[in-house]
Amino acid sequence: MKPSCAHLDPLSEADDFDPEALLDPLSTDSGLDDEQLERFALPFSPRISLQPRTYQREALRNWLDNAGRGVVVLPTGAGKTVVAFMALEQVPVRTLVVVPTIDLLRQWRDGLIERAGVPAAEIGVVGGGERSAKAITVMTYDSAAMPRRNLSDYGLLIVDEVHHLPAPTYRAIAARAAAPWRLGLSATPERQDGAHVDLHSLVGPEVYRRMPAELARTGHIASYQEKRIFVDLSPSERYRYDSLMAEYKWYIATRRSQLMHGQLFEELIRRSATDPAARRALQAHHQARMIALNAEGKLARVEELLHKHHAENVIVFSEYNAMVRVLSQRLALPAITYRTHPHERRAILERFRAGRYSKLVTGRVLNEGVDVPDANVAIVVSGSSASREYIQRLGRVLRPKPRGAWLYEVISRGTTEARTARARRPKAA
């Protein structure tokens, strides 16, 4: 049994809730600038309608102590938006909320109205066909990054899924914003390109972080059972996999001295542009990986798990849409990929939420920025080595519940997939 990164119900009463702490979280000097507060002042007073938990109040305190600048890192589903609502209440100024997806535009607008006490008439939305800027404006990254977009009227900048901000396309958002107060939110701010170090200058330093294990130890989120299930490749799959990997390894072994100028795999990719042998080796590696990730034996294991958890709500994740289609067709599962029309996707999720569907298979599209209905079993048929993906998928499906929850990873035995599965697990998860 391991602790879980589970969705938190921010409206539930915390065991250690202290009304005085909620009413007066600024009992010490917050360092807020009265002149800036007046310059960007709201025409109304936000008032949150929920009871923050201890760690959410701690996160707010740390952010305020750093002059209202910084990044808060909490597991997916642990109530990062609650920290943002608290920040808005304590720094009641015109605010820009930047989000990565259209789905999050709606979620933030609803949350601001229902939980942060913001009048609906004061909330603007820019993105997804809407172009209304108000005292509180929710805007997509793409809309905010438009060259002529004026971002100088906001005193507070809240950046959801802030790990996107350092991307070359989006970092101009922070540069053009005049906001003296800035709050970044993410479950995993680290980026594979190392650009997360720029968050310090774009938004502020990391001021608060809690891992799933820490929140589980304090009883704020549930525990889950985690299990790896290994499957064997079929004889034909094994023959093909070994042949392809042999071709790849032979190229690496005979060119190792030439590939050591940088990261080996990155150097191989670079050489593949001009070296036919490097290109064949790279293709062999990719084809071998596809065999491991999409092994036929995984279908039988998924079917067994679905039968075992026939009374549970289950979401099956696959790295590749081809496997999503196979699982959907062979096991009669509703499927969501990036190609699924938004109306159909909303219909599927609503049916899952209403109990009409109890099983669902999806690709990367539900990793981030979608309000996924509650489920208590996750089956990862294939995934990347990214820890962010691992935490996001846990957060999408694990909420506190009396019977606990389960996470299964189905892995092809004797392949590089086992190493990939190890790499994606955060050390403190």
For the stretch 348-365, pLDDT in tens is 988 988 889 999 998 877
Rounded (to 5) percent helix, strand, coil in the chain: 45, 15, 40
pLDDT at 25: 42
Residue 339 C-alpha from the chain's centroid: 20
CB 393 within 8 A of CB 356: no
CB 342 within 8 A of CB 370: no
pLDDT at 188: 84
CB 376 within 8 A of CB 405: yes
CATH topology classification for 7-210: Rossmann fold (3.40.50)
- Name the token pair of 285: 């590696």
Q: How far apart are CA 215 and CA 221, in angstroms?
A: 6
pLDDT at 42: 94
Write out the residue limits of the CATH 3.40.50.300 domain(s) in the chain: 7-210, 223-232+295-424
Q: How far apart are CA 5 and CA 212, in angstroms?
A: 5
- Name the token pair of 9: 């119900």
CA quadruple 394, 214, 25, 23: dihedral, nearest 10: 70
CB 244 within 8 A of CB 285: yes
Low-confidence ranges of the chain (pLDDT < 70): 1-31, 216, 219-223, 257-263, 367-373, 383-403, 423-429
Q: Which helix (H) or strand (E) holds 158?
A: strand 156-159
Q: Exposed, middle or buried by CB within 10 Å (0-12, 13-18, 19+), for 155?
A: buried
Residue 249 C-alpha from the chain's centroid: 34
Distances in whole angstroms, Cα of residue 225 to Cα of each of 86, 310, 381: 33, 17, 17
Length of the chain, in residues: 429
- CATH, domain range 223-232+295-424: 3.40.50.300
Q: How far apart are CA 186 and CA 58, in angstroms?
A: 16
Residue 81 C-alpha from the chain's centroid: 13
Q: How far apart are CA 21 and CA 23, in angstroms?
A: 6
pLDDT at 369: 56
pLDDT at 199: 96
**C-alpha angle with apex 91: 89 to 92, nearest 5 degrees?**
70
Q: Exposed, middle or buried by CB within 10 Å (0-12, 13-18, 19+), for 178?
A: middle
Distances in whole angstroms, Cα of residue 212 to Cα of each of 26, 52, 206, 226: 27, 18, 17, 14
pLDDT at 247: 93
Q: How far apart are CA 319 and CA 329, in angstroms?
A: 17
Per residue in 8-18, pLDDT tens? 333 333 334 34
What are residue 358's phi and psi, to 5 degrees? -120, -5
Q: How far apart are CA 321 and CA 119, in angstroms?
A: 41
CB 169 within 8 A of CB 161: no
Please list the alpha-helical segments (H only) found in 186-275: 199-202, 212-217, 235-259, 264-271
